[in-house]
């Protein structure tokens, strides 16, 4: 809320125009999907957080499945920029958010592999793994194994920390260990 004479913050201004509405909806839907998963997030929740009327969400995206697809493709676009910059493991919060949204969508029963049209980080990782593997199939398998490993940590970190007695390890040290193991999986070498 702004006070008289103060400039409004971006949070106080409702998006106007198609591009602004679409951008706000995609951003806030991705955040909500990461927090709760798409099954526990309504179109009204997304519209309220984005500062738009829920009718605009339906107008621009249609049914919820189409919105989930649009969010997945939006996140793939963000992560494509990261992949192009060489960020391939979830050190960047945008990449981490994408992986969490992927995991939550999968757990909610969405066919992510069919909904998302491109997988830039997986593609970049396969390209990278080819230099360490015997053939394309072996490279793809190593990437699938590494992705499953990292997604597992994304989903189950609190449980894994407690069950394995790792509560005393700092977040930075844990991230370094996860990344080192993912790299070992990708390269197929012992470290």
User: What is the token pair recorded at 16?
Assistant: 């106007």
Contact 59, 21 (CB under 8 A): no
| pLDDT, average across residues 8-12 | 43
Number of domains in the chain: 2
Quote the domain boundaries for residue 135: 119-191
pLDDT at 90: 63
**Residue 94 counted as domain residue:** no
Q: In this predicted model, what pLDDT tens digit does every residue of 102-136 receive, in sequence order?
A: 989 999 999 998 998 888 888 988 988 898 898 99
Residues 21 and 80 grouped into a single domain:
yes
| pLDDT, average across residues 172-177 | 91
Cα angle vertex 77, ends 147, 177, to 5°? 30
- DSSP-derived letter for residue 9 is P
**Residue 109 counted as domain residue:** no
Task: Inform me whether the pLDDT recorded for 8 exceeds 90.
Answer: no
């991230």: which residue's tokens?
A: 175
**Residue at which a domain ends, from 38, 72, 87:** 87
Residues 123 and 83 grouped into a single domain:
no
Contact 146, 186 (CB under 8 A): yes
Q: Cβ of 108: how many Cβ atoms within 10 Å?
A: 16
**Residue 107 counted as domain residue:** no
- CATH number for 26: 1.10.357.10
**Residue 106 counted as domain residue:** no
Higher pLDDT, 90 or 127: 127
What is this structure's pTM? 0.77
């Amino acid at each position: 809320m702004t006070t008289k004479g103060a400039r409004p913050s971006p949070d106080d201004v409702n998006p106007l125009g198609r591009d602004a509405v679409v951008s706000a909806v995609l951003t806030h839907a991705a955040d909500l999907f990461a927090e709760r998963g798409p099954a526990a997030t309504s179109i009204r929740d997304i519209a309220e957080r984005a500062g738009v009327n829920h009718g605009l969400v339906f107008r621009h995206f249609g049914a919820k499945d189409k919105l989930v697809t649009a969010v997945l493709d939006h996140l793939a676009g963000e992560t494509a920029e990261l992949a192009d910059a060489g960020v391939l493991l979830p050190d960047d919060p945008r990449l981490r958010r994408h992986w969490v949204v992927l995991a939550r969508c999968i757990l909610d029963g969405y066919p992510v592999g069919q909904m998302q049209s491109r997988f830039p980080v997986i593609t970049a990782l396969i390209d990278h793994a080819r230099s360490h593997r015997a053939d394309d199939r072996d490279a793809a398998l190593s990437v699938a194994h590494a992705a499953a490993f990292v997604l597992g940590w994304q989903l189950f970190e609190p449980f894994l920390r407690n069950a394995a007695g790792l509560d005393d390890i700092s977040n930075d040290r844990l991230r370094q260990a996860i990344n080192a193991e993912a790299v070992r999986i990708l390269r197929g070498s012992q470290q």
